[in-house]
Amino acid sequence: MRFLCCSWNHHSHVPSPFRLTPSSLITRKHSTITMTKRIALGSIVASTAAAVITAFAPPSTIVSRRRLVSQPLKVAVDPTTITKKEYEDICGLEFTEDEMVKRLERTKYLYPKHVEVIEDLEPLAGSMVDKILLETGDKAWQPQDYLPDMAQEGWEDEVKEMRKQAATVPDDLLVVLIGDMVTEEALPTYQTLLNTFEGCDDPTGTTESGWARWSRGWTSEENRHGDLLNKYLYLGGRCDMRSIEVTIQHLITNGFNPDARKDPYRGFVYTSFQERATKISHGNVGKLARQFGDKNLQRICGMIAGDEGRHERAYQLFVKEIIARDPDGLLAVFGDIMRGQIAMPAEQMSDGKDTKLYESFSTVAQRLGVYTALDYADIAEHLVKEWDLEHMEGLSSEGEKERDYLCRLPGRYRKLAERSMNKAKKSNEPPVLNSFSWIHGRKA
C-alpha cells in the first residue's frame, strides 16, 4: 500500500496539507476518491488471494475457517467506485471472466503457434519411438557386450588383450576420446534441455505422450554411450580416471545453454545439427583407432555413431514436418540460429585446473581431423539439402530472404574454413602442445 507523504511548511509547525486553502480542498477531495478506489481494489486483490490460498490449504484448515466466516468470499466490484475502464488500466486485464480465460490461454506458452504445430506432430513422435529407437531389454545392445566379462573365467586374458590394443592409441586421439566421453556423460543436462521445449515436455516423469516417450527413450539409448566409453577408458589403464570424473561433475554442474529459449523449433534445429556432429566425431575416432590397431575401440565407436545416426534422422524428420506446416516460422528460427554459432555441448567443461580445457580439447580434435570447420560447413549443407530449402515455395518475402541466406551459407562457411586451414598449413609452425590432467599431465 502506498502512503501519502506530508511535507512541512517552514512558516508553520503544522503539516502543509492541513492549511486549508481552496486548492488544497480540491486536492484532498481528489486524493480521498483515489484512495477509496485503491482500497476497493485492494479488497478485490485480497479476496482473490484468500480464495487462492484456500484452494491449496489442507481440508482441516478450510473447515476451521468456514466456522469463522458465515458467508463465502466473493470478488465484487462496485462500478460507482472503480469503473471497468479504470480496472483495465490498473490491472492490464479485461474485466470479464471470458476475457481473462482467453488471456491465460494466450500467455500459457511463449510460442503458442509453435506449440500448436508440435502438438500436431505428437503422433509422429510416438511412432519414432517404435521405428527409430531400438527395443529395450535383452534385444538392445548394452555396454557389457563390448567389454570383458569380469564374472567369467579367463577375464584376465580378455583384459590383457584389450589393454594391448588400447596401448596403440596415441595420446592425442586418447584426449579426443576422453572429451567425447565426458560430453556423453553430461546426459542429464541434455534431457533437462529436451524438457524445456514447449509442448515436448514430460511434466510427470512418466507421461505417456508421444513426446515424453521419445524423450525418455532417446535418453535411455544415449545413456549407454558414456557408460561404455567410461569403462573402456578405465580398463585401458592409461587415464587419470579421477580427473576425468571431476571434469564430468564440473560439466554437469556448469550446465549448458544452446540458446534454444524453450522454443521447440530452435531445439529441433539444434539437435538435428548436433546429433550429426556427434555421429561424425565418433565415426572418425573409430576410423583412426582402426588405423592404429585398436579394433575394439573401432567397434565401440561404430555402435555409438550408429545410435547418433538414427537419432539424427528422427530430429531431422521432426523439422521436415514442421516445415510442411509452418515454413516461414521454421526458416526464421533456422536463419537466426545460423547467424550465431552452434554451441558445442562440452563448452563448459573444466577439470578445475585448465581454464581453457575445451579450447585445448577442440584444438586437438581439429588437428586430427576428428571434427573440423569443414565438418561444420558440411552439416549446414546437409541440412539445407535434407529439408529441400532451395525448392521451397509459397513463402512470405521474409521467408524468401531467409531461404536464400541459408542456401548460400554452406558455401561461405566452406570458403572461410579452407582459407583458415590453408593459412595454418603455410605458416609451418609446429602445433602447440597442451598438458592434460586426463592423461596424467602428458602433453597432446
Is-catalytic flag, 400? no
Please provide the size of the chain in residues: 444
Q: Show the cell assigned to 332.
A: 526464421
Is-catalytic flag, 308? yes
Write down the catalytic residue from 141, 168, 227, 250: 141
Q: Show the cell assigned to 355.
A: 581454464
Write down the catalytic residue from 172, 308, 321, 351: 308
Bridge partners of 8, per DSSP, are 15
Write down the catalytic residue from 198, 202, 263, 307: 307
Helix residue spans in 293-390 (DSSP H): 295-325, 327-339, 357-368, 373-386
Is-catalytic flag, 386? no
Whole-angstrom CA distances from 375 to 161, 172, 369 are 34, 19, 9
Is-catalytic flag, 222? yes
Q: Show the cell assigned to 12.
A: 508553520
Query: How many angstroms from the chain centroid is the CA of residue 328?
Result: 23
Write down the catalytic residue from 282, 311, 312, 363: 311
Do 285 and 212 meet the contact criterion of CB atoms below 8 Å apart?
no
Do 244 and 178 meet the contact criterion of CB atoms below 8 Å apart?
yes
The HSE-up count of residue 196 (CA atoms within 13 Å, CB side) is: 16
Write down the catalytic residue from 275, 354, 378, 402: 275
Is-catalytic flag, 382? no
Backbone angles phi, psi at 8, to 5 degrees: -95, 135
Is-catalytic flag, 225? yes
Is-catalytic flag, 157? no
Do 301 and 283 meet the contact criterion of CB atoms below 8 Å apart?
yes
443 three-class SS:
strand
Backbone angles phi, psi at 92, to 5 degrees: 70, 20
Write down the catalytic residue from 183, 247, 271, 278: 278
Write down the catalytic residue from 180, 222, 312, 321: 222
Write down the catalytic residue from 221, 225, 282, 363: 225
Is-catalytic flag, 311? yes
Residue with the three cell numbers 579367463: 154
Residues with a known catalytic role = 141, 184, 222, 225, 275, 278, 307-308, 311
